[in-house]
Structure 1
Amino acid sequence: MGQPNPVAVLDKAVAILHAVRDEPATLAELVERTGLPRATTHRLAVALEGHRLVRRTPDGSWAPGPALAELGRAGADLTEQLADAATRHLVALRDASGESAQFYVRDGSTRVCVAAAERLSGLRDTVPVGARLPMTAGSAAHALLAFAPADEVTPLLPAASFTARTLLDVRRRGWAHSIAEREPGVASLSAPVRDGSGAVLGAVSVSGPVERLGRRPSPEVVGAVLDTAVAISRAVR
């Protein structure tokens, strides 16, 4: 008999977590919501309970466990650290590039602007903090997706303004550039921000009118964006 596929087991466990996300579920309801066999459902639910990812309610139903809240707080804390670090460095990037600067983190199929430094005068590309933009357009989306697993990228490509080759180029050179993907007349340049293991935490970006930022970004602006990405990465390690 072959060994269980660990990825398939993980997928089933995640299905159980989703099944109890909105309201508790009895074992029968878990089976109905997930479509998994009863024995498999019970075995995985018990295992998740052992890791405190689910818990039993007084009536015996399954509900989200305390470890999920702890992980959620940890994620929120990291985003706050990234936003604080980015805010300090985006001002210097704005001044060096002459363009508006932003920092984005990925949230599923969207990217969220968690820090920004706007150009002080003249024509600018304004992205307010808290804005949600699609992962299907713009250089920050390129930078966030270029190093993501293929199963996260492939479903987005049919609706994207870029191709798999675009992301391959970003992986090769370490930065991304787009023209009029998100908004007509706007160009942007982005680079991924990584943690100590190389995982992508977010993307730092500058954006502005194409006629000013250029169809081929200058080495000085590319260098400033890359230097800022490194500085933010170091600040949160």
Structure 2
Amino acid sequence: MGQPSSADDDGKGARSGIGVVDKSVAILASVALAPRALADLVATTELPRATAHRLAVALEAHRLLARDSEGRFVLGPRVGELAAALPDPVIVAAGPVLAWLRDECGESAQLYRRDGAERVCVAAAERAHGLRTTVPVGTRLPLSAGSGAQVLCAWSDPASLAGIDAFPERTLNEVRRRGWAQSIGQREAGVASVSAPVLSPEGDLLAAISISGPVERLGRSPGARFAPVLTRGAHRITSTLTP
């Protein structure tokens, strides 16, 4: 038996030297690109028809593949379930930063991600004592109000905001220019917030990091006071993600 190689001779990807595994991965990789009828699967993987069919059906039994309405092979639900079980590196990196923000600012801190026309709180560090604004993890809020929504809209592809009741382009341009956003009573009366974008090492939007609390404590211009801390926290998360 030959030694396992790090790449196929034809340049199609890595091989382990275990034939059934390599062939199964080739099938999954092909289906990940587009739904495949059996003939397409044979053509893209260059596997014998009987082998491609046998392995695809076996992967279907394990819910790694499924069939669409036209009978073509597509990725199955088990793929998403396995991916969801992995720790999210952004949330892991944000945990200690949110706690630091809460302690530095004395206010509750949150991490938001965009999901269509909403933003979702995916991590939080709550103020332990006194009057606080609590946003439980999993809370969904519209993209039409709040500093976190401003940030997520400002760094999103404008085409993806079509049909969403978001913010005027003038507002989003100003948020991008400053590098942060603030809001006073936008989402909830008496509540102020400041947010900054969390970007990937390549500069793509990952999330918005925020603090929020009563206007009486944050004031009417909370950005001037807290934005430097928010942007520093966002940079800390990004630096953790840098290879």
TM-score (ref. length: structure 2): 0.68
Aligned 1:133-212 pairs, distance under 5 A: 133-156=141-164, 159-160=165-166, 162-212=167-217
* Residue 50 of structure 1: how far off its partner (Å): 6.1
SS in 1 for 2:222: coil
The aligned amino acid for 2:212 is S
Report if aligned partners of 2:151, 2:175 keep a CA contact under 8 Å in 1.
yes
Relative to 1, partners in 2 of residues 1:174 and 1:65: Cα closer, same or farther, differing over 3 Å?
Answer: same
C-alpha distance in structure 2 between counterparts of 1:119 and 1:197, whole Å: 32
The aligned amino acid for 2:173 is L
- Is 1:54 aligned to 2:35, yes or no? yes
* Residue 83 of structure 1: how far off its partner (Å): 1.2
* Residue 223 of structure 1: how far off its partner (Å): 0.9
Report if aligned partners of 2:196, 2:231 keep a CA contact under 8 Å in 1.
yes
Number of residues paired by the alignment?
Answer: 185
* Residue 175 of structure 1: how far off its partner (Å): 0.2
The aligned amino acid for 2:127 is R
C-alpha distance in structure 1 between counterparts of 2:95 and 2:145, whole Å: 23
Residue in 2 that maps onto 1:28 = none
Structure 1 alignment gaps of length 5 or more? 1-47
- Is 1:123 aligned to 2:128, yes or no? no
* Residue 111 of structure 1: how far off its partner (Å): 1.1
Structure 2 alignment gaps of length 5 or more? 1-28, 38-66
Identity %: 45
Per-residue CA deviation, residues 96-153 of structure 1 (Å, 9 max, x unaligned), is 1111100011111111111111111111110001111111111111111102111122
* Residue 189 of structure 1: how far off its partner (Å): 0.3
Residue in 2 that maps onto 1:65 = 75
Report if aligned partners of 2:181, 2:223 keep a CA contact under 8 Å in 1.
no
Supply the RMSD in Å over aligned alpha carbons. 2.7
Report if aligned partners of 2:32, 2:74 keep a CA contact under 8 Å in 1.
no
> Among 108, 114, 126, which residue is 2:122 paired with?
114
SS in 2 for 1:196: coil
- Is 1:228 aligned to 2:206, yes or no? no
